[in-house]
Structure 1
Amino acid sequence: MPSISVELDRVEASSVEERLRRFIQNPEFPCVGAKSAVQKGRLTVYPARDITSAWNDVEIQDHLMHFAWAYGQEPTLFTSFAVVFERPDDLSEEAFEVALWERVQSLADKDAWRGQQHDPRVSADPGDPHFSLSFGGEAFFVVGLHPKASRPARRFEHPTMVFNLHDQFEMLREQNRYEKLRASILERDEKLAGDINPMLARHGTISEARQYSGRAVGEDWRCPFDRKSEPDLPRALDELLQKRQD
């Protein structure tokens, strides 16, 4: 099974932020857009504890919201926000998918609770072909990485969620660069994995929610996400109070 190795001196590059950057910089890593983000210093990395826990969700939502606001003030190509979780590193693809959507739901609930409207350019319905997540008023596509991923390009040593801004895809289309970039990524991914990713699809043809975790899912798959217009305020308040006590 092919894999992307990260050969590092543990002292020289001990932080998860640096290890993610080295993972992306590996010559075999297929996403040239992510490589550009690292090269230009536009990959923001937030280290968190546990992808199966809500421990860092308040801080993650806040950082992600401000990341979106900053982008709205100065739109820039090839910029991403990644959350790297310390643990667990032994989740199956199914378990990782469950944890990823739990974090997404929690973050979206907090985003709505803080008065952030869903980006009107995309749908909030995960069954809609035009669906995207939204934080701080900006649409995002999420890429999940973890050690047990079946696709080698998703196989990173820590559970990770990479948030990519949808507006950047539109900027690339306006500059007539999107198709060339997409073709390059697909070709490189096929070369690495030995086959074409069956989950890839163009935005607007089928819900992108199917692609987030990286697990191959069937036609009967249903997304567990619900963007609530009125979030669960008691639960959100309980989480904030618990954070203060801890």
Structure 2
Amino acid sequence: MPQPATPLFPWRHEDQDRFERLLQVHVEDRLFPCVGAKAALAKGTLNVLACNRIDSGWDDLRIHDGLLRFASAYREEPALFRSFAVVFNGPEDLDEPAFEQALWDRVQSLSDKDVWRGQEYDHRVSHDPEDPHFSLSFGGEAFFVVGLHPHASRPARRFAKPALVFNLHDQFEILRAEGRYEGMREKILIRDEALAGSRNPMLARHGTASEARQYSGRVVDDAWACPFHYRGADD
């Protein structure tokens, strides 16, 4: 059995152990398509933070503290396949639009706290969600977010609890530099197609379309507008 990641957080939610195990079992499932998450779990670098409701700001400071610690730990040891997953104790009845709204509410609040705490935006990415080079930034590190919830239309995004998984943008760049990114991406796409019967139409390479469209897992059209606004820069 893989060992849990080294705790980054000096506090514990009452459901911490249960949510860690819940996510571990989910990632371990042979049909789960993301080989990067499987690698993080195997290495003990899948960090999990249990929180209260995703539609509440109650735990936003805890989450942001965790992101700062996670970013700092990565800079000290920039190894591949690290993820920071926030698992929320409900609500479990959110449809896709409601989950998407909750996701962006949490992201906006976390970004505002990053500004409030004087953190610089990662200069390697754009803070404009309409820019093809957009990524979120916390603690000076760019992140790609994967939303999971019980009522996701894509099976790969379906999980018993609402969750946000923060993946470091720098890790994708390392994989590209090592010539491993395209092969890994194709492997995930093949596994996802086998699970869902089709490839995810929202997936796009960084720099060709804004990754903001991919975060919630909901299929959106060209008229979709990202509700995020970075408040640390002039319009």
Q: Same fold (TM over 0.5)?
A: yes
CA distance in 2 between counterparts of 1:82 and 1:112 reads 22
Residues 75 and 27 from structure 1, CA distance in 2 versus in 1: closer, same or farther, beyond 3 angstroms?
A: same
CA distance in 2 between counterparts of 1:227 and 1:70 reads 24
CA distance in 1 between counterparts of 2:56 and 2:115 reads 20
Residue aligning to 2:200: 197
Residue aligning to 1:51: 54
Residues 1:180 and 2:211 aligned together: no
Residue aligning to 2:83: 80
2:98 aligned to which of 95, 100, 105: 95
Deviations, residues 24-59 of structure 1 (Å, cap 9, x unaligned)? 110000000000000110000000000000000011
Deviations, residues 45-78 of structure 1 (Å, cap 9, x unaligned)? 0000000000000110011111001101110100
Gaps of 5+ in 1: 1-12, 232-246
1:218 aligned to which of 216, 221, 224: 221
User: How many residues are matched?
Assistant: 219
When the two structures are superposed, what TM-score results if normalisation uses the length of structure 1? 0.87
Residue aligning to 2:8: none
DSSP-derived class of the 1:102 partner: helix
Residues 1:228 and 2:231 aligned together: yes
Deviations, residues 146-174 of structure 1 (Å, cap 9, x unaligned)? 00000000000000000000000011111
Residues 1:127 and 2:126 aligned together: no
Residues 1:164 and 2:167 aligned together: yes
CA distance in 1 between counterparts of 2:70 and 2:22 reads 21
1:115 aligned to which of 114, 118, 134: 118
C-alpha contact (below 8 Å) 1:113/1:230 kept by paired residues: no
Which residue type is aligned with residue 65 of structure 1?
L
DSSP-derived class of the 1:18 partner: helix
Q: Displacement of 1:14 after TM fit? A: 6.6
C-alpha contact (below 8 Å) 1:82/1:160 kept by paired residues: yes
Residue aligning to 2:4: none
Which structure is larger by alpha-carbon Rg, 1 or 2?
1
Q: Displacement of 1:182 after TM fit? A: 0.5
Which residue type is aligned with residue 201 of structure 2?
P
Which residue type is aligned with residue 200 of structure 2?
N
Over aligned residue pairs, what C-alpha RMSD do you find?
A: 1.3
Residue aligning to 1:10: none
CA distance in 2 between counterparts of 1:105 and 1:77 reads 27
CA distance in 2 between counterparts of 1:24 and 1:213 reads 18
Residues 1:148 and 2:151 aligned together: yes
CA distance in 2 between counterparts of 1:119 and 1:182 reads 24
Determine what percentage of the aligned residue pairs are the same residue.
63
Residue aligning to 1:63: 66
DSSP-derived class of the 1:15 partner: helix
CA distance in 2 between counterparts of 1:229 and 1:195 reads 39
Residues 1:42 and 2:52 aligned together: no
